Amino acid sequence: MDEKTKTAAGIAAGLQGMKYDDKRLAELAAEVEILNDAVRKAAAARLTFDDDPASLASVMAKEARS
């Protein structure tokens, strides 16, 4: 079991109270890595301290055409 799969195993058993076999844990670790990397890179390039999840609604209202 590689380090990422071990981490997934720790989250499953230690934090979420769930059981998965080693093969599935490896698949989940790989899937999560892709998603996390994409969001982390996008966030690093764009987000600042003051970014608020709720700003989507205000941006939509400000940019509304009709």
Q: Are 35 and 28 in contact, with CB atoms under 8 Å apart?
A: no
Q: Are 4 and 25 in contact, with CB atoms under 8 Å apart?
A: no
The yes or no reply on residue 13 touching other proteins (CB under 8 A) is no
Q: Are 8 and 33 in contact, with CB atoms under 8 Å apart?
A: no
- Any idea what DSSP says for residue 12? I
The yes or no reply on residue 23 touching other proteins (CB under 8 A) is no
The yes or no reply on residue 3 touching other proteins (CB under 8 A) is no
The yes or no reply on residue 28 touching other proteins (CB under 8 A) is yes
- Chain residues binding other proteins by CB under 8 A are 8, 11-12, 16, 18, 20, 24, 28-29, 31-32, 34-36, 38-43, 46-47, 51-53, 55-61, 63-66
